[in-house]
Amino acid sequence: MLTKLREMFSGWVSKVVFGLLVFVFSFFGIESYFVARTDTFVAKVNGHEVSQQDFRTAMDNFRQRALQQSGGKLDGSYFEKPEVKRQVLDALIDRQLVLQAGDKLGAAVSDAQVRDAIAAIPAFQIDGKFDDGTYRAVLASQGMSPLTFQERVRSDLQAEVLPQAIGASALATDADVDAYLRLRGQTRDIRYALLPAPAVGDGAVSDDEIAAYYKAHPSDFMNPETVALQYLELNAADLKVDATVDDESLRKRYEEEKQRFVLPEQRLVSHILVKVPANATPAQQKAALEKAQKLDAEAKAPGADFAKLAEQYSDDLGSKRQGGDLGWISKGETDPAFESALFALQKGQISAPVLSSEGYHVIWLRDVRSGQAKPFEEVKDDLAKQMLDSERERKFSEVAGKLTDLIYQDPSSLEPAAKALGLTIQTTPPFTRSGGAGIAANPKVVEAAFSNGVLVEGNTSDPVELGPNHIVVVHVAKHTPATPKPLAEVRDVIRQRVLTERAEAAAKQRADALYAKLRQDGDLAAVAAEAGVQVQTAAGVGRDAQQPDAALVEAVFRMPYPAGGKPGTALVPLAHGAFALVALDAVHAGDPAKVAPAERAMLRQQLARLYGTEAAREFIAALRSGAKIDVAEDRMQ
Amino acid sequence: MAFEAYDEYEQSEKLRQWLRENGLSIAVGIVLGLLLIFGWQQWRSHRAQHRAEAAARYDALQMAADAQQTEQADTLTDQLMKDYADTPYAAFAAGERAARLIDKGQFDQARTALAWAEAHAGDAALKSLFTLRLARVDLAQGKADAALARLGTLPAGTYVALAQELRGDALVKLGRGSDAHAAYAAALAALPEDAPQRSLLQVKLDDTTPAGGSK
């Protein structure tokens, strides 16, 4: 049979099979050369693709962080904005650039660094120590293998290598600090003349002017947008609880929770401490014990004054001044050795020296307040109230859960939920974004009322917490968009404004004319005389000075230096159309020598840190300008 | 089908003869190929290990520097500069040495360290960073002209904010207030909106307002 097979395969059958195989293998996969490959990357950085998956993960992380930082205040639509998405993508691209540069230059992360970084993550720790079981369990719950996670941590660390090294090697010199200090401590000598705010006249304002103003400033004359709400309120305090509180069940509960009503035994203690250093030699320990024994004997001697001894000899700085008094102590508050000695004493006794982690204690038990149970009758009312409260709470969370379910089922109306739970639909009067009365006084309610889901989509809000065990859900009853106020209503306001603007424009014109003169001649006295105002002087004005006027001081430090025998000059607008004409006579640099060396060192570090952070940023910018980066905005999903 | 025309004995003879003729080159080829693969892997793992060693030493250097153990920091820096000059850690270690020297006022030695880092940066962007720092040392030593000249050698568009601020500082030193003003304005324009040093830069800008007012 084998011969037969062989004959057959050496014949035409084999040729056909062979031919078929050749055909299949040579053309298999060839379609990929003809069909355009569909790209899936979001960005391509020097040939490395940032996948949509990477982008989504980064977006999720960003969302989580941003929500946490804003306390959940950010709207979901914020994360849909193209510029926000782009910001996240840019961070991914930067990361890729730094990784590539690091690889090219030879940056690396050692296994030990990866290990340390993982061990330092709190989620993998038990009692502050890394725990392998927890590590594996946490990873497993996120569907990740330890190897994948290690690689992720490694690449995170790797992306930090260069920026961190750039920051760590940043430098700032004494010259930089001096320059800063000279500027910070700079003072300026000025003269100035105040042109007072113009009086608003009572001139004629034509109807046309008023109409034009009204037209030009529509947003100034609007009735604000308002909303009126329907709401369901659920308050644990209003819930009827039908649990019966009879004596029997109360007594049962009392028995169960008896220790709650027992005061622990307390002991009034004084002590004398003879300190033993943590790494004491046997000789030191012995000396301390002898000293303690001697003090013990003295304290036990008839007529001895324990407090005085403590004051004189105790090494416990905290209690020494009070004659060794430690106050009332109950179990579980002090060192175990100290405690067992203390609770073995009878009232008035003094112990033999006791060794604790601090040293030898001589303990004097001054008084005992024994633990007593409160009788049932005394706590009965409290118990009854507690039982009702917990029953009420239970009922509240039950009803609140039902309410939430019902809203999710039908977010378009409050009726079904109200009917099913026996709640009444209440209403608020209309209120604006700045809130109103009743539940509308609560900012959380206002925020919910004007949120996208409630106001625009017309859904019922999620439960809003007004207090502990007190929630409302709201639904828009009536929404009034902002409407322009009628012209007649705002006519007087506009007239006043037009008059004010007129007066201020005139004042500005006058001030500009005076300033032109001042700039030309540098003679403030002459200009002030012409304006009929006084010249005032202020010498040694510092940057943060509030006198003569904070706005004036700020402007003074933006003025050009005096030059060629002429003062620097400026015209500074103040509030309500008032102006100051200013002449800068002298600039005094701050004295760097006056600053203490410690502060200088700190400033130099701060400057170095600023320069370092900026250098790292600009390093990445340089990498970016030399890289080939394709971004597929349409795939930023 | 020529091969099949021979009988079995002849076939094996043919094969042997072919092997005799080509066996050596096949063997050499296989060995060479294996060596290449093996060598490549060796080289890669050697390189990775070399880099990891440098990283570990650099880490130790950070810790020593944080703990003010200057001597140990210097030993580690020397080691990195001598044996790991092909990794970026050497240049950064030299840069950190320069920062320490500047704290002690030893500018010339700091300059040497920075020049070494500049020469061994291994990347244009990193090289410019050390050039920039050399210019800062120039200025600290009162050589404003030298600082300006050095800043002029930076490729356009690199470290704009830092370089322009430093240029402004040098120009102020040379009494060229309005040029400094323009430099500070350029630095401010290049800084991101949320950079903490904006306020300081603004003060420098305001302080150099030219007589005609800021443009």
Q: What is the pLDDT of residue B31?
A: 93
Separation CA B84–CA A487 (nearest Å): 80
In total, chain B counts a number of residues equal to 215
Q: Judged by CB atoms within 8 Å, which residues 97-156 of B form the interface with A? A: 98-99, 102-103, 105, 110, 122-126, 128-129, 132-133, 136-137, 139-140, 142
A51 occurs within a structural domain: no
Asked if pLDDT for residue A409 goes beyond 80, the answer is: yes
Number of independent structural domains in chain B? 2
Q: Which domain holds residue A26?
A: 1-32
- A183 contacts B203? CB cut-off 8 A: yes
Asked if pLDDT for residue B214 goes beyond 50, the answer is: no
Chain B interface mutation, best of A14, A110, A114, highest count of B Cβ atoms under 10 Å: A110
- A168 contacts B92? CB cut-off 8 A: yes
Domain boundary among A545, A561, A588: A588
Separation CA A60–CA A65 (nearest Å): 9
Mean per-residue pLDDT, A456-484: 87
Q: Which residue has the higher pLDDT, A10 or B188?
A: B188
Q: What is the pLDDT of residue A133?
A: 84
Give the pLDDT confidence of A507-521 residue by residue, as tens digits. Answer: 899 889 888 888 888
Token pair listed for B119: 């020469």
A102 occurs within a structural domain: no
If asked whether residues A495 and A477 sit together in one domain, one would say no
Amino acid making up residue A511: A
Q: Which domain holds residue B87?
A: 54-122
If asked whether residues B150 and B206 sit together in one domain, one would say yes
* Confidence band for B215, pLDDT divided at 50, 70 and 90: very low
Give the pLDDT confidence of A518-548 residue by residue, as tens digits. Answer: 888 888 888 888 888 888 888 888 888 887 7
If asked whether residues A453 and A503 sit together in one domain, one would say no
Give the pLDDT confidence of A254-309 residue by residue, as tens digits. Answer: 777 776 777 778 888 989 988 888 777 888 888 888 888 888 888 888 888 888 88
Separation CA A320–CA A317 (nearest Å): 5
If asked whether residues A455 and A514 sit together in one domain, one would say no
Give the pLDDT confidence of A346-359 residue by residue, as tens digits. Answer: 888 888 888 888 88
A236 occurs within a structural domain: yes
A322 occurs within a structural domain: yes
A629 occurs within a structural domain: no
Q: What is the pLDDT of residue B168?
A: 94
Mean per-residue pLDDT, A69-93: 81
Q: Which residue has the higher pLDDT, A271 or A369?
A: A271
Q: Which residue has the higher pLDDT, B93 or A31?
A: B93
| Number of Cβ within a 10 Å radius of residue A166 | 25
If asked whether residues A387 and A420 sit together in one domain, one would say yes
Q: Lowest-pLDDT range, A222-226, A278-282, A285-289, A370-374?
A: A370-374
If asked whether residues A316 and A406 sit together in one domain, one would say no
Number of independent structural domains in chain A? 4
Report chain B residues whose CB lies below 8 A from the CB of A107: 51, 55, 87-89
If asked whether residues A584 and A524 sit together in one domain, one would say yes
DSSP result, B58-118: HHHHHHHHHTT-HHHHHHHHHHHHHH-TTSHHHHHHHHHHHHHHHHTT-HHHHHHHHHHHH
A617 occurs within a structural domain: no
B42 occurs within a structural domain: no
Report chain A residues whose CB lies below 8 A from the CB of B122: 105-106
CA distance, residue A532 to nearest chain B CA (Å): 27
Report chain B residues whose CB lies below 8 A from the CB of A6: none
If asked whether residues A290 and A318 sit together in one domain, one would say yes
Asked if pLDDT for residue A76 goes beyond 60, the answer is: yes
Is B87's Cβ below 8 Å from some Cβ in A? yes
Q: Are A542 and A189 in contact (CB under 8 A)?
A: no
If asked whether residues A444 and A533 sit together in one domain, one would say no
Least CA distance to A171: which residue of chain B?
B99
Mean per-residue pLDDT, B188-203: 90
If asked whether residues A347 and A401 sit together in one domain, one would say no
If asked whether residues B63 and B116 sit together in one domain, one would say yes
DSSP result, A108-163: ---HHHHHHHHHT-GGGEETTEE-HHHHHHHHHHTT--HHHHHHHHHHHHHHHHHH
Is B88's Cβ below 8 Å from some Cβ in A? yes
Asked if pLDDT for residue A86 goes beyond 80, the answer is: yes
If asked whether residues B118 and B177 sit together in one domain, one would say no
B28 occurs within a structural domain: no
CA distance, residue A508 to nearest chain B CA (Å): 18
If asked whether residues B80 and B118 sit together in one domain, one would say yes
Q: What is the pLDDT of residue B109?
A: 92
Separation CA B49–CA A519 (nearest Å): 70
- A113 contacts B55? CB cut-off 8 A: yes
A177 occurs within a structural domain: no
The pLDDT > 90 percentage for chain A reads 7
Chain A interface mutation, best of B100, B151, B188, B203, highest count of A Cβ atoms under 10 Å: B203
A471 occurs within a structural domain: yes
If asked whether residues B152 and B112 sit together in one domain, one would say no
* Confidence band for A442, pLDDT divided at 50, 70 and 90: confident
Residue whose tokens read 């004493």 = A345
Beta strands per DSSP E along A460-522: 464-467, 470-480, 483-484
Q: Are A310 and A272 in contact (CB under 8 A)?
A: yes
If asked whether residues A444 and A526 sit together in one domain, one would say no
* Confidence band for A30, pLDDT divided at 50, 70 and 90: low
Domain boundary among A452, A483, A514: A483
Residue from the list A558, A617, A622 with its beta carbon closest to the beta carbon of B209? A558
> What CATH number is associated with residue B162?
1.25.40
Give the pLDDT confidence of B130-161 residue by residue, as tens digits. Answer: 999 999 999 999 999 999 999 999 988 889 99
Q: What is the pLDDT of residue A130?
A: 84
Q: Which residue has the higher pLDDT, A439 or B135?
A: B135
Q: Which of B151, B149, B185 is nearest to B166 (CA)?
A: B151
If asked whether residues B117 and B150 sit together in one domain, one would say no
- B55 contacts A622? CB cut-off 8 A: no
Look over chain B and give the mean of its residue pLDDT values, rounded to a whole number: 88
* Confidence band for A6, pLDDT divided at 50, 70 and 90: low
Look over chain A and give the mean of its residue pLDDT values, rounded to a whole number: 84
Token pair listed for A340: 């067992």
Chain B interface mutation, best of A87, A173, A607, highest count of B Cβ atoms under 10 Å: A173
CA distance, residue A556 to nearest chain B CA (Å): 10
Asked if pLDDT for residue A375 goes beyond 80, the answer is: no
Domain boundary among A483, A512, A533: A483
* Confidence band for A321, pLDDT divided at 50, 70 and 90: confident
Give the pLDDT confidence of B91-108 residue by residue, as tens digits. Answer: 999 999 999 898 888 999
Separation CA B135–CA A171 (nearest Å): 11
Q: Lowest-pLDDT range, A187-201, A253-267, A481-495?
A: A253-267
- Name residue A316's beta-bridge partners: none
- How far is C-alpha A260 from the geometric centre of its chain's CA atoms? 39
Residue whose tokens read 């080509």 = B22
Count of CB contacts below 8 A, A vs B? 139
If asked whether residues B63 and B117 sit together in one domain, one would say yes
B59 occurs within a structural domain: yes
Residue whose tokens read 């003569």 = A548
If asked whether residues B118 and B147 sit together in one domain, one would say no
- B87 contacts A105? CB cut-off 8 A: yes
C-alpha dihedral over B1, B2, B5, B10, to 10 degrees?
Answer: -130
Q: What is the pLDDT of residue A370?
A: 74
* Confidence band for A125, pLDDT divided at 50, 70 and 90: confident
Q: What is the pLDDT of residue A21?
A: 79
Asked if pLDDT for residue A165 goes beyond 80, the answer is: yes
B32 occurs within a structural domain: no
